[in-house]
Amino acid sequence: MINLTVLYPQPDDVEKFESDYADHIKLFHKRTGLPNDVKPYTVTRFAHGPQGKPPYYLMFSMPFDSAEALELAMTSPGMQAVAADVNRISTWGAPTVLIGQSD
């Protein structure tokens, strides 16, 4: 299993980020052809902890069956449009994109 993880830094304006992120997820569903009620991904919003505000506000994580499946998805025109939109909504710097393998 290969996981695509996108970590969004703390936004300047949380309310605006949330609105933009909702539009971004709609774009994701539209451009990938996923029905709105199908969510093969998880979204985690980080809370303040004992050490204060975390460096990241939100994490999007989506599993793929293989590296080849991830590569095919990421090079599709739909995902290219979604990837371009990621930087638009991340107001406090570019998000961190991680690819990892889970056992």
**DSSP code per residue over 8-73:** EEPPS-HHHHHHHHHHHHHHHHHHHT--TT---SEEEEPPPBTTBS-SEEEEEEEEESSHHHHHHH
Cα dihedral sign for 85, 97, 40, 63? positive
pLDDT of residue 61: 96
Q: Where are the domains of the chain?
A: 10-54+67-101
Cα separation, 103 vs 21, whole angstroms? 30
* Whole-model pTM over 0.85: yes
21 closest CA partner among 32, 33, 9: 9
pLDDT tens digit at each of 103 positions of the chain? 999 999 999 998 999 999 999 999 999 999 998 888 899 999 999 999 999 999 999 999 999 999 999 999 999 999 999 988 988 888 778 899 999 998 7
